[in-house]
């Protein structure tokens, strides 16, 4: 009996021990699970590496530089806006000054044109002076010829000299120079100059009030013309009905392309000469022959005049000083025929 009771007690003690061990193991398992969960949810704070720290420092420097650049850009944009405002103000001031300068230039040009405009009486005086000088030179040549000629009886031919009249009809022009007579296509080149000037009127404006150009050549002459913008005077307005600003021919001159144009006097006075052929083609009842005479040909002009009288032409002489070109202008005078 005692043995059986001892065995029973041993069995009870073994079960209790197992229960205790099981409880302890369960507690340990629970503690391990709780600890694992804590470890799982706890962030790992690893110490940064040297490379990460260097990268972070470089990133901070870049951010600082970027902010500095942003500030610089904003400052530059503000300066640009200020400069643009100043530029616009300067441009407006420049436009205002340019307009004032243009107005001043136009005023100065108008004053200059007014001052350079020759008075009609001055032109008439200059032309009369040139004619008087040419006549004086002719008389001096005649006096020298008479003084040097041997005394002899000469037959003097007299020609009727009617009163001079202003040429209004058609004219045929000749140049008598160096003992040679040549046709002068004055009217033809003037008409060509007028047509040429009409095509080029667009070149004239307030800054370029004049234009010079050339036409020809024709029959050995080249025409040079100058046109200008012209402010009509009250007198011109009353005479022509034009007013305001217009275009007019200022000067037209003829330049020979060769000093030996035309025929010598013996050739021209011979039958069948070019001189006679020209006159036969242009012989009209109202035609006047105008001869532009240079000082070296005054004596030859008398023979030409005799031949033209014989052929029935009225004759007008236009003496020219040596070196002066054949010219025409609105303020010039008309020929006077005999």
CA distances from 226 to 196, 214, 215 (A): 11, 9, 11
Question: Crossing angle of helices 120-148/298-311, nearest 10°?
Answer: 100
189 assigned to some structural domain = yes
Cβ-contact 185, 328 below 8 angstroms: no
Selected residue with higher pLDDT from 2 and 22: 22
Mean pLDDT calculated for residue range 234-254: 79
pLDDT-derived band of residue 182, with 50, 70 and 90 as boundaries? very high
52 assigned to some structural domain = no
Residue 85 scores a pLDDT above 60: yes
236 assigned to some structural domain = yes
Q: What percent of the chain has pLDDT over 90?
A: 17
57 assigned to some structural domain = no
pLDDT of residue 158: 46
pLDDT-derived band of residue 65, with 50, 70 and 90 as boundaries? confident
178: tokens are 């160096």
- pLDDT by residue (tens digit) across 285-297? 667 899 999 999 9
Residue 124 scores a pLDDT above 80: no
Mean pLDDT calculated for residue range 177-206: 87
Which range of residues forms the domain containing residue 230? 120-147+168-337
pLDDT of residue 44: 58
Residue 222 scores a pLDDT above 90: yes
17 assigned to some structural domain = no
51 assigned to some structural domain = no
158 assigned to some structural domain = no
Cβ-contact 262, 268 below 8 angstroms: yes
Residue 123 scores a pLDDT above 70: no
Return the closest-CA partner of residue 18 out of 29, 8, 7, 10. Answer: 10
pLDDT-derived band of residue 73, with 50, 70 and 90 as boundaries? confident
49 assigned to some structural domain = no
Burial 93-120 (b: 16+ CB within 10 A, else e): eeeeeeeeeeeeeeeeeeeeeeeeeeee
Residue 52 scores a pLDDT above 50: yes
pLDDT of residue 18: 78
Contacts of 240 (CB under 8 A, 6+ apart): 232
Domain total in the chain: 1
């Amino acid at each position: 009996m005692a043995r059986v009771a001892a065995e029973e007690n041993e069995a009870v003690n073994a079960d209790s021990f197992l229960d205790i061990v099981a409880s302890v193991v369960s507690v340990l398992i629970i503690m391990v699970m709780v600890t694992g969960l804590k470890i799982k949810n706890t962030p790992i704070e690893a110490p940064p590496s040297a490379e990460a720290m260097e990268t972070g420092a470089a990133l901070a420097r870049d951010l600082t530089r970027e902010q500095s650049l942003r500030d610089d850009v904003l400052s530059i944009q503000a300066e640009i806006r200020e400069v643009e405002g100043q530029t616009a103000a300067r441009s407006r001031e420049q436009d205002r000054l340019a307009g004032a300068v243009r107005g001043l230039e136009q005023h100065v040009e108008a004053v200059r044109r007014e001052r350079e405009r020759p008075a009609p009486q001055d032109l008439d005086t200059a032309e009369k002076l040139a004619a008087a000088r040419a006549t004086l030179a002719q008389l001096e040549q005649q006096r020298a010829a008479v003084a040097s000629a041997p005394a002899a009886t000469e037959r003097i031919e007299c020609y009727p000299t009617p009163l001079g009249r202003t040429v209004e009809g058609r004219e045929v022009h000749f140049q008598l120079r160096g003992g040679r007579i040549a046709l002068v296509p004055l009217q033809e080149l003037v008409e060509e100059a007028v047509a040429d000037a009409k095509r080029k009127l667009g070149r004239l404006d307030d800054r370029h009030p004049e234009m010079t150009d050339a036409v020809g050549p024709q029959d050995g002459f080249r025409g040079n013309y100058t046109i200008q913008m012209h402010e009509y005077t009250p007198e011109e307005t009353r005479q022509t009905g034009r007013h305001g600003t217009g275009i007019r021919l200022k000067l037209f001159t003829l330049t020979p392309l060769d000093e030996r144009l035309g025929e010598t006097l013996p050739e021209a006075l011979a039958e069948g000469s070019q001189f006679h052929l020209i006159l036969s083609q242009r012989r009209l009842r109202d035609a006047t022959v105008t001869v532009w005479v240079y000082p070296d040909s005054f004596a030859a002009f008398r023979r030409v005049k005799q031949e033209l009288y014989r052929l029935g032409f009225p004759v007008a002489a236009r003496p020219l000083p040596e070196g002066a070109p054949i010219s025409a202008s609105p303020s010039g005078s008309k020929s006077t025929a005999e």
